[in-house]
Amino acid sequence: MAESGISTPTRLSVALTWMPVQLVLLFVALAAVDLACQVLGALLVHHVPALVRDAARLGSAVFLSAVMIAAYRWLVRSLERRSPDELGTPLAARWLALGATAAAGLFGVVYAILWSLGAVAFQGFGGLSGLGGRPRPQHQKCRLR
């Protein structure tokens, strides 16, 4: 005789509690959300007038960031059954600074490797003219060989 209040776990529910399965599911779901937001952003930028394309690019990047954070929060709560405390305000500033520093360092390492292989030649600093949009050919800081 089986008790009515106790249910036996299924293979799927047991597999979803295993950390490697959760990690793969998080990756696949977030990659799909990222791809969808990138495609929608590209379509948006393609269909707006040229005058507001830079604003559309910025808006789509902000939208992508917000959607990715919301998707991560939802996935952590539903898959891992925990609160995503790593996105809380006290830790967010510290992790943002650490991530930005690591990204700048990795960017520098990539360019150092390219420079050591002879793929890039630095020609000096010509200002910040290329930051607002597409860089102009006469203001390029490096050239590929």
The reported pLDDT for the residue numbered 141 is 56
The two tokens of residue 94 are 């510290």
pTM of the complete model: 0.60
Q: Consecutive 10-residue runs of the chain (145 residues): their mean pLDDT?
A: 65 76 91 94 90 89 92 91 83 86 95 90 66 52 57
pLDDT at 129: 54
Give the alpha-carbon dihedral of 121, 127, 133, 138, to 10 degrees: -50
| CA atoms of 112 and 144, how far apart (whole Å) | 14
* pLDDT of res. 3: 56
pLDDT at 28: 95
Q: Where in the chain are the domains?
A: 8-87, 90-145
Q: What is the pLDDT of residue 16?
A: 74
What are the residues whose beta carbons fall under 8 Å from the beta carbon of 68, sequence distance 6 or more? 30, 33, 34, 37
Q: What is the spatial distance between Cα 84 and Cα 68, in angstroms, rounded to a whole number? A: 13
3-state SS, residue 127:
coil
Confidence at residue 138, expressed as pLDDT on a 0 to 100 scale? 53
